[in-house]
Structure 1
């Protein structure tokens, strides 16, 4: 049983080491992705309502975030789950739009190998955020704990 548990665990992600991918590249990727987000009829207004005129600090924060995700370098120290849980206007299906835009951006800007590495992480992040934002255990109607 223990061996089954050990083999079923996901392998830890390793830092991406690719000659074309550095912080500068990630900054360009982030800016292009958010240009597409801003143009999207569903996500654009959500982001505009939250970020307002503070796009450059947000883009720098997202560059730090994706650098930390891809390079495992600790360059991001924020807390994305609480920030996203507060966004009551976001629906679960919005993550499909987000992922589709991210997939298209990485496909347009990255080699297939690098795009796949970004997408693997993006899908895991989206799943984590969806679970945090939308998964709720059913409430016991009697208010007691079953046994």
Structure 2
């Protein structure tokens, strides 16, 4: 056993959410309602509009695939969200708190509590990963001069 890793908890394997009402169609409704709220937000709305523009449908379909893969583990999404988000220089770290607040409320409004909990836990993990990638990158190591 590798000693430095011995005390660390193992990541919990995420499983597909098995619920009779949760399918791609439901996820699509949740995604559309969430992004309707995001677009109405005074801080996030202009950021998203500036990147996506007026034709949201292709992006909403891609996000539905993404969330279907996250929730249903169906392999519907094969994109790379981190490089796309690294290009967004106008995003601040605290914007993720706004995004999560809107997401939590949307999930609570549209889902049963146990289902909302799964969506929110995965959204929190995604937000954390994106924040780490965008704001906490270590500088590249410089070659040592011996």
Segments of 4+ in structure 1 off by > 2 A? 1-7, 136-140, 143-147
Distance change >3 Å, CA 138–CA 109, structure 1 → 2: same
1:54, distance to aligned residue in structure 2 (A): 2.1
Deviations 1:49-100 (A, max 9, x none): 0000220001000000000000111000111000000000000000000000
Q: Residues 10-21 of structure 1: matches in 2 within 5 Å?
A: 10-21=11-22
1:11, distance to aligned residue in structure 2 (A): 1.3
Distance change >3 Å, CA 103–CA 139, structure 1 → 2: same
Query: Which residue is 2:60 aligned to?
Result: 59
SS in 2 for 1:35: helix
Q: Residues 26-41 of structure 1: matches in 2 within 5 Å?
A: 26-41=27-42
| RMSD of Structure 2 on Structure 1 (CA) | 2.2
* Count of equivalent residues: 145
How many Å separate the matches in 1 of 2:143 and 2:131? 28
SS in 2 for 1:76: coil
Query: Which residue is 1:106 aligned to?
Result: 107
TM-score (ref. length: structure 2): 0.91
TM-score (ref. length: structure 1): 0.90
Gaps of at least 5 residues in structure 2 are none
